[in-house]
Amino acid sequence: MADNIIVIDSAPEAARAAAKALEAEGYLVFIAAKADVGLTMAKKVRPSLVLLELSTPGVEGLEFCKSLRSLEGLQELPILLYSKAQEQYEPRYQEMYGIVGFLKKPVDASELVAQVRQALRQPVETAQEAAMAFEEPLGQAEQPQEVFPEAPEEVPYEPPQEAQELRENLLRPRTRKTVDRRRTLLLALLVVLLAAAASFSYFMFLAPKKAPVEVKERVPEKPVAKAPAPPEAKAPAKKPPQVAKKAPVYSVQVGAFRNRANARRLMNALKAKGYEARLKQLQRGGKPLYKVLVGSFSSREEALATAKRLSSKEGLKTVLYRD
């Protein structure tokens, strides 16, 4: 069976180029665009090697490499790093986190395949030798390299049949659970509908019907004629005493309150200024209403003059009140 390799890179073009080069050599490649997706994929796929781009979201230095190798069965997992800048780590960190080599982007296909082959053949403890084996000697002229991401026309990436089947198997349990949940909901709905139909049929056709109650018509009794009473002598009607009409009394209303304390406060303030102020309690809407009145005048003109004086001098809104 071919070795499984996970490529963790947020750049889709670079990830597809690396996957294309490795699949051409017979490797089974999975691509993850985020670190947490790659970690979840590693739990299910159990890769033989991880190709990690250091600028991928969620990758915090070498701690992510430690998280990968802490998974069950992946304690000896080799990790191949690549980035735009050539990274250098101390040999003890390379052995501790399983780093078997470094590549600089853009990655050459032949160099990538060579490092992957060597990493899968050697144990993790010789990671320092693997890193030193691919360092470029000083003074050596750079060889022309083929850069996959910069190709003018890119063939759409299609995963191999074996990788596609493995992905479908990983997703199949979730789909089966969704189908089972929908099937359970449909069965529950069908049971409710059947119960409702049975209840309706019972009440319409099978329930015992009550006999109609006969209502007897009551015949009204004939009233017994009584002898007419002798007419009573009518006393002469007395004329009601005439009450003298009371002359109207006018006052000036300067406020109306639901709260008695507020009404008394205004009344006391007016009294302190020499006005003849008093409270009058009324009932409005089932609740008491306290009106603050000033003066008692038999003449409407006097009441109007006092109201104008209160408005101009005290700044109060006044209304004529007639008792």
Decide the pairing of beta strands 277-284 and 287-297: antiparallel
Look up residue 207 and give its DSSP letter: S
- For residue 213, the model assigns a pLDDT of 63
Final residue in a domain of this structure, among 126, 144, 172: 172
Please indicate, yes or no, if residue 277 is contained in any of the structural domains: yes
* Tokens 């070795």 -> residue: 3
The count of structural domains within the chain is 2
- Domain limits for position 316: 250-322
Give the percent of the chain with pLDDT over 90: 11
Phi-psi region for residue 239, left (φ > 0), alpha (ψ -120 to 50) or beta?
Answer: beta
Whether 5 has a pLDDT exceeding 50, the answer reads yes
Please report, as a single letter, which amino acid is at residue 275. Answer: Y
Residue 151 within any structural domain of the chain: no
Average pLDDT over residues 112-119: 91
Query: What are the pLDDT digits (tens) for 286-307?
Result: 888 888 888 888 888 888 888 8
pTM of this prediction? 0.39
CA distance 89 to 296: 103
Specify the 3-state DSSP secondary structure of 108.
strand
Which residue in 220, 245, 322 sits closest to 280, CA to CA? 322
Is the domain of 167 the same as that of 267?
no
pLDDT of amino acid 7: 92
Pair (168, 287) in one structural domain: no
Q: What are the tens digits of pLDDT across the range 181-205?
A: 888 989 999 999 999 988 888 888 7
Query: Which residue in this structure is represented by tokens 């009440």?
Result: 203
Please report whether residue 271 resides in a domain: yes
CB 107 within 8 A of CB 17: yes
Distance from C-alpha of 159 to C-alpha of 29, rounded to nearest angstrom: 8
For residues 163 and 254, membership in a common domain is answered with no
Mean pLDDT of the chain: 76
**Within a domain: residue 185?**
no
Binned at pLDDT 50, 70 and 90, residue 114 comes out as very high
Phi and psi for 5 in degrees, rounded to 5? -130, 135
